[in-house]
Amino acid sequence: MTDRTIPVYVLTGFLGSGKTTLLRRLLDDAKSRGWKPAVLMNEVGEVNLDGIMVDASVPMAEMLGGCICCTIRGDLGVELTNLAKEHKPDVIWIESTGVAQPLEILDAVTEASMYGKLELRGVVTLVDARHLLDRLRIGSGKTFRLMQDQIRVASLVVLNKTDLVGEPEKAELQERIAEWNPAGNIVSTVNAELDPRIIYDEPAANFETGHPHGPHDHMESHPHHDHDHVHVFTHYLHGAMDSHAFERFLRELPEGVYRAKGIVTFRDTANRYLFQYAYRETDFLPIRPQKTVHDVAVFIGEDFSKADIGSKLEKLSGRTE
């Protein structure tokens, strides 16, 4: 396994929203930067038709016959770790099936960070503008709730196929998306055409709402600067901690953290431990890994300060800024 941390991004969205089109654009962009990308593609069916559209030179793992968030969830950490170990990519993209529950995806993806240096950096949710508008008019149903959940968990929402709705409808959709996910970026596109720099949180020229420029004529951006609204925070630990102090730290986690997990080493115990935190309850399981695994803590939630949590963990493990 490579010793550097590999960024992982999840691409989600309901069926037919344009995920594979955007993935192909992102893979082309990665190659133009000199990056080596890898892809983990999940399909509910037994044949991965989307995978056929991906360049054969891109390392790809397939998870067929089930959804990341349920029937084959346990395989995800293994697949991601194997991708990283075998191919040593610069970035990994996960394209999830359109019917996947997003919070369960986050939970499943972060499992992998306990087996290798992998960090979930962002969740990109694609939305079919016409489909969402139709569901908005109905105002209920499982599909509508799933689309809402996929939007809420995103660091970036791509409102795609906006050429199929009018300007008033597009404004209505943007307003509703902002209500569901006030801290996420929203970008409006046609044919999933966007500047990848907005995904990687890089400076991008000429991002002005309503004033598109150059080759990105179908894109407008609504950036935000609230960097403490995070959904996943991964922190690799650099030393052993006192078990009582760590338990106290978990008890005092902010309410916005609704799940946490990781592998830790304590100064006052013989074993290393796998810890799980949910609904303010904590469980510790002693482990004796047969191969190298890193001490790491992963936090899932919203409206919590990753800087504050990171600082406390540094102090616990004997390091200060």
**Assigned CATH class of 232-316:** alpha beta
Q: Per-residue pLDDT averaged across 247-264, rounded?
A: 90
Q: Give 282-288's long-range contacts (Cβ < 8 A, gap of 24+).
A: 282/247, 282/250, 282/251, 287/263
Return d(Cα 111, Cα 118) in angstroms, integer. Answer: 10
What integer best gives the mean pLDDT of the chain? 79
Tens digits of residue pLDDT in 53-73: 455 567 665 554 444 444 444
pLDDT of residue 292: 76
Q: Per-residue pLDDT averaged across 4-14, rounded?
A: 89
Most confidently modeled range among 76-80, 94-98, 121-125, 213-217: 121-125
Q: Per-residue pLDDT averaged across 141-153, rounded?
A: 87
pLDDT of residue 79: 80
CATH code 3.30.1220.10 region(s) in the chain: 232-316
Q: Report how far Cα 66 is from the mean position of its chain's Cα atoms.
A: 19
pLDDT of residue 32: 93
Question: Which option is the CATH number for 6-222: 3.90.230.10, 1.10.240.10, 3.40.30.10, 3.40.50.300?
Answer: 3.40.50.300
CATH code 3.40.50.300 region(s) in the chain: 6-222
Confidence band of 74 (pLDDT split at 50, 70, 90):
low
Given a cut of 60, is residue 212 above it in pLDDT? no
More confident of the two residues 7 and 259: 7
